[in-house]
Chain A
Amino acid sequence: MNVVEIDLKEILRDFFFAFSTGADRSGLERSVRASGVLNPIPVLAADGGWRPLAGFSRIRAAEAAGLKTVPGRVLSADIPGWKHFADAVLEQAATRPLHLFEKARIVDILRRAGAPDTEITGRCGEALELSGSAPSLDELAGLLRLEPCLIRLLERYPVAFKQASFFLTLDPSGQRAAADLGRELQLRPVELTEIVRTAWEIGRRDGRPMHEVLAGASAGHGRQGMNRNERIASLRENLKRMRQPRLMNWNESLERARDGMRLPGFCVLGWDASLESPGLRLEALLRSESDAAALSAGLSDEQTRDSLRSMFELL
């Protein structure tokens, strides 16, 4: 193994092979300050300097610690750079799960470095979890078309391809609006996707930009002094009302009809809120004959029967 001491100034700053999401480096910096960089950084000779294939955090930590040099493991120039990089990826994948956006960057880097898709799939398929119903290389790399602010937000959490790829259906301003909302309400990707998707569908239906729909659904939140959870709940409720106005109206009219009934307090009347299952569910715990009589009287009451009639029209 050819390990040499490398001047940090000779390290190429393009960080071509960097794919990491940028984890917290404070521990690493402390360690480097105390003991220096112990693990040599794999490098390729390029453009009169050294191009690292991994160890970017160590390089930054070394700079922060004021070091002038770091140990470098010089890789053979006879082997294409992308093959060395693929090996570095496999090493990383063996020690920790790769984030979706890291996988996207790895595919993008490998392609830009000249790796054929068959080699990417063959060498890194397992590390990138490309088998079965996983996204294709194009789909994975395509995630990098998302707005950087949205990628930064989504990278904070574990995120599934299906959730992340949804945002590609939004235009850049929609993506930025989604990122703003996610940051403001500290939404996890699953919550953010659900909320933004609903807003986007309302916009698609009504011919309005998604950010306008979101703004409309969030109107008044600041004035009302709501906390985060209340704001999220209110946003969801408003979007639901905008998305399914008739369904909500039907349910509200059913609730009004139920409230007008003269049923004893021990009865609970319910229905399927989607209105798909027919009929009403009546639950009653009868503890005595008088309970039975009260239930019978309640059901025979004229006002109750009128209410039931109107409810059955919908149910």
Chain B
Amino acid sequence: MFQPQAEIPVRFDRIEIDPEAVSFPLTGRILERLPDTPRSVSAGETFSRSISRLPLTRGKRVLRLAVGRGGLVKPCPATSDPYLCCRYTVMNAQSQCPMDCAYCVLQTYLDSACQTVFVNTDDMLAQAGLLLDQNPGRLFRVGTGELADSLALDGLTGTAREFIEFFAARPNALFELKTKTVRVDGALEAATRKAVISWSVNPSSVVASEEHGSASLEHRLVAASRCAKAGFLIGFHFDPILDYPESEREYAELTDRLFDAVDPSRVAWISLGSLRYPPALGDVIRTRFPKSRVGTGEMIRGLDGKMRYPRPLRVALYRAVLERIRRRSSDVFVYFCMESRPVWEKVMGFAPKDNADLDFRFAESLARRFPELGFPEPERGEYKCGIQASAFHSFE
């Protein structure tokens, strides 16, 4: 009988606190919630030296509380032409993840192996506020799930509620929490439901073999159902879609299970993205997860230098999922993450003209499908131009 996979509880061997982070309220809150964890205050440079050689497995057990410098609110790093990207905005409230997915790009993307929480949330919200104020005519989708899991540490930080409430008060923002956990209690305490709570999803066999320490699919769907019933919009990210002998059948079944758990009318968006990674990650996967099947399929080097499945294979995988989605919902917004126009055309029958067009289509879908969010019908012209922001340079 299938046993749901338990999410690994978040525990740390020690806490390292940057001197300038000591006085922040979030630091105090986190320390209060980890009373038995050894902690020390260490200057950034000393600390960086001490952890620079720390392997990931050990580094992930170190919690660093730091003050984030520079741009904490940024355009999603995305990828280069000719792959289309959706012009998502990321708010880097944390970096690293206590879970250990074999395919995770953070294994090579981040300099530091340790779990870092940036405690100056006021600064990041001020940056986000500036960005939103300077661009009132367009809708921003903002999320914290790029360099970290949005909710993995919410039991410690309790920031989900604060972030949801901040962005809900903004007329041109929709905030997304992206997770592989079931830690939604903090979000459910928010005074508003204007936010998207999303789950990265994969068939149970993939969750069990590749997504170490994450919640089981069953648990994720229970949490998604709970959030949908509470009034939040839900997102699902089929990312990364893996190719293996049973993949088409298992992804089709997965799609059915999502819609059994959450009514399609409450799903804000679904993303599809097949496995892709920088070549250097292949070595890391081989070393850290020798039993993983990630990267053992047929891979080619894409035009952005990342390893991907060959295009006809990606098209077949996407078609199988999309066909199943469309059986249950004709208008749920489905998009590709980092895919080329030929793939869009072959699978969807159309391709966004460019990244701005894709961004506009998001806004159009949200305004039309969810009038209760109060987003006005978007004007295409607003999305064609670059973004006015001191917080970060051109979005293009």
Q: Do A and B interact?
A: yes
Q: Per-position contact with B for A231-248: 1 when CB-CB < 8 Å, else 0?
A: 000000000000111110
- A276 and B310 in contact, given A243-B298, A244-B298, A247-B298 (Cβ under 8 angstroms): yes
Q: Contact at A246–B53, with CB atoms within 8 Å?
A: no
Question: How far apart are the CA atoms of A278 and B292 in the complex, in Å?
Answer: 31
Given the complex, which residues of B lie within 8 Å of A247, measured CB to CB? 298, 300, 310
Is B283 a contact of A162 with CB atoms below 8 Å? yes
> Is B303 in contact with A276, judged by CB distance below 8 angstroms?
yes
Are A274 and B300 also in contact (CB < 8 A) when A166-B286, A247-B310 are? Answer: yes
Q: Is the CB of A245 within 8 A of B298?
A: yes
A22 shortest CB reach to chain B, Å = 29
Please provide the chain A residues from 132 to 147 with a CB less than 8 Å away from any CB of chain B in the complex.
Answer: 136
From residue B82, how far is it (CB to closest CB) to chain A in Å? Answer: 9
**B297, A275: Cβ atoms closer than 8 Å:** no
Judge whether B290 is part of the interface by a CB distance below 8 angstroms: yes
**Interface: A277 (CB within 8 A):** yes
| Total residues of chain A contacting the partner, CB 8 A | 22
Q: Is A186 an interface residue (CB 8 A)?
A: no
Of A136, A162, A204, A275, which one neighbours B296 at CB under 8 angstroms? A204
A126 to chain B, nearest CB (A): 18
User: Does A201 reach chain B (CB closer than 8 Å)?
Assistant: yes
Q: Which of B53, B286, B291, B303 contacts A136 (CB 8 A)?
A: B53
Encode B282-308 as 1/0 by CB contact (under 8 A) with A. Answer: 010011001111011110111100001
Chain A neighbourhood of B311, CB < 8 A: 275-276
Instruction: Report which of A165, A205, A244, A278 forms a contact with B342, defined as CB distance below 8 A.
Output: A278
Q: How far is the CB of A140 from chain B (nearest CB, A)?
A: 12
Is B110 an interface residue, CB under 8 A from the partner?
no
A196 to B291, CA, bound (A): 16
B298 contacts across to A, CB distance below 8 A: 243-247
CB neighbours of B301 from chain A (8 A): 274
Chain B CB within 8 A of A56 CB: no
The CA of A210 and the CA of B312, in the complex, are separated in Å by 28
Instruction: Determine the chain A residues whose CB is within 8 A of the CB of B313 once the complex forms.
Output: 246
Residues of A within 8 A of B53 (CB): 136
Interface flag for A169 (CB, 8 Å) = yes
Find chain B residues with CB under 8 A from A201 CB: 295-296
Encode contact with A along B306-348: 1 for CB under 8 Å, 0 otherwise. Answer: 0010111100000000000000000000000000101000000
Interface flag for A286 (CB, 8 Å): no
Q: Which residue of the partner chain, among A136, A169, A274, contacts B310 with CB atoms under 8 Å?
A: A274
Taking chain A's interface residues, is the majority helix, strand, or loop, or is none over half, making it mixed? helix
B290 near A169 with CB under 8 A, answer yes
Cross-interface CB contact of A275 among B287, B293, B300, cutoff 8 Å: B300
B290 to chain A, nearest CB (A): 5
Is there an interface contact between B300 and A276, defined as CB atoms closer than 8 Å? yes
A160 within 8 A of B: no
User: Are B293 and A169 closer than 8 Å at their CB atoms?
Assistant: no
In the assembled complex, the Cα of A60 lies from the Cα of B392 at a distance in Å of 68
Inter-chain contact B296/A205, CB cutoff 8 Å: yes
Q: Are B293 and A205 interface neighbours, CB within 8 A?
A: yes
Report the minimum CB–CB distance from A193 to chain B (whole Å): 11
Interchain CB contact under 8 A, B308 and A314: no
Say yes or no: B303 contacts A275, CB within 8 Å. Answer: no
List chain B residues, Cβ under 8 A from A204: 290-293, 296
Please give, as numbers and ranges, the residues of chain B lying within 8 Å of A278 by CB-CB distance.
340, 342
1/0 contact trace for A165-182 toward B, CB 8 Å? 110110000000000000
Q: Are B308 and A276 closer than 8 Å at their CB atoms?
A: yes
A250-288 CB mask vs B (1 if < 8 Å, else 0) is 100000000000000000000000111110000000000
Q: Which chain B residue shows the least CB distance to A243?
A: B298
Give Cα A205–Cα B298 distance, bound, in whole angstroms.
10
Interfacial chain B residues near A243, Cβ < 8 Å: 298
Instruction: Please give me the residue from chain A that is nearest to B288 by CB atom.
Output: A169
Interchain CA distance A68-B303 in the complex, whole Å: 68
Q: Does A250 lie within 8 Å of B310, measured CB to CB?
A: yes
A-B contact pairs, 20 of them (CB 8 A): A136-B53, A162-B283, A165-B287, A202-B296, A204-B292, A205-B293, A243-B298, A244-B298, A246-B298, A246-B313, A247-B300, A247-B310, A250-B310, A250-B312, A274-B301, A274-B310, A275-B300, A277-B303, A278-B340, A314-B312
List the 3 shortest-distance A-B pairs measured between CB atoms, nearest first: A205-B296, A274-B300, A244-B298
Given contact pairs A276-B310, A278-B342, enumerate 8 new A-B contacts (beta carbons under 8 Å): A169-B290, A201-B295, A201-B296, A205-B296, A246-B312, A250-B310, A275-B311, A276-B308
